[in-house]
Amino acid sequence: MEVSRAMMTTEVRRSRILELVRGRGFATLPELASEMDVSESTIRRDLGRLEEAGIAKRTHGGVLYTGQTPGFLPVDTGNTEVAEKKAAIARRTAELIEDGDTVLLDGGTTTYEVARELVGRRLQVVTDSLPVANLFMTRGESDLIIVGGYLHSRTGVLVGPHAKRMLSEINVQKAVLSVAAISDGGFYNSNMLLVEVKRAVMAAADMVIVVADSTKFGHKSLTQLCDWNDVDYLVVDNEISEDWRSKVVATGTKLLLAGKTDNG
């Protein structure tokens, strides 16, 4: 009986690790050990099993999420509804991207879902996100350009002056960004280093597309990223309130709705 209980504990822990890595795209070894309240050696063994299953890829100091494989479902499904919203938003956003486009994808869980929709298409992809880059690394259909810089370990995004400098020297047709909050005053993020790079991403693009689920509306975060008139398209799930739909339309930003009934 004790063996059975121990095995169940291991499976539950690994499922929770997967959910954390999936939500963040990238997680460090110390973070996972602290949150699971186990040793780093235990986390290494868990990550080894996830890597064998093709779900995650270990890197120096952490792990990247590489996509879910059939038959390995997380036990913790508390965020299933939000995950479905993000997936619907990603499908809708992918419709804005045409084969042959040069597209810049920044870090964030919703942007990551967009990247998953674009894998396998003939594109030139520029990204400052290691989790996003990892999705395209094993496929040859897309040209991949990775922005250099200092690695923000919690998100796997490259930040700092080197990232900003490289972004200032390129031009892309479309940029897809995620945000932490949206209010009447515009778009917000909770990390100042990420905001600096996101602004550089926007400046490099002819078209700016923001992806956000409906839970982000009516809130502010630490730093304002930009005003409404800096964003061309806002893609959100169809649970956004009627009041917010009217507000977005009034700003002049094009609103695209995504939902379970969408075909793309």
Residue 50, strand partner residues? none
Structural domain tally of the chain? 2
Of the chain, the percentage scoring pLDDT greater than 90 comes to 48
Q: Indicate if the pLDDT at residue 122 is higher than 70.
A: yes
Note whether residue 236 is domain-resident.
yes
Mean pLDDT of 170-197: 93
The answer to whether residues 34 and 129 belong to one domain is: no
Model pLDDT, residue 121: 93
The answer to whether residues 111 and 220 belong to one domain is: yes
Q: Which range among 17-21, 33-37, 69-73, 159-163 shows the weakest confidence by mean pLDDT?
A: 69-73
The answer to whether residues 221 and 118 belong to one domain is: yes
Provide the domain limits for residue 55.
2-65
CA 98 to chain centre: 20
Note whether residue 75 is domain-resident.
no
Mean pLDDT across the chain: 84
User: Which pLDDT band, with edges at 50, 70 and 90, does 70 fall under?
Assistant: very low
Burial of residue 256 (number of CB atoms within 10 Å: 0-12, 13-18, 19+): middle
pTM of the model as a whole: 0.72
Q: Which range among 51-60, 123-132, 161-170, 207-216 shows the weakest confidence by mean pLDDT?
A: 51-60
Q: Indicate if the pLDDT at residue 263 is higher than 70.
A: no
The answer to whether residues 130 and 183 belong to one domain is: yes
Report pLDDT digits (tens) over 8-22: 467 778 878 887 787
Mean pLDDT of 179-193: 92
Q: How far apart are CA 36 and CA 176, in angstroms?
A: 33
The answer to whether residues 196 and 240 belong to one domain is: yes
The answer to whether residues 58 and 94 belong to one domain is: no
Note whether residue 207 is domain-resident.
yes
Note whether residue 32 is domain-resident.
yes
DSSP letter string, 41-88: HHHHHHHHHHHHTTSEEEETTEEEE--PPTT---S--TTHHHHHHHHH
Model pLDDT, residue 79: 53
The answer to whether residues 61 and 87 belong to one domain is: no
Note whether residue 74 is domain-resident.
no
Q: Are 223 and 189 in contact (CB under 8 A)?
A: yes
Of the chain, the percentage scoring pLDDT greater than 70 comes to 87
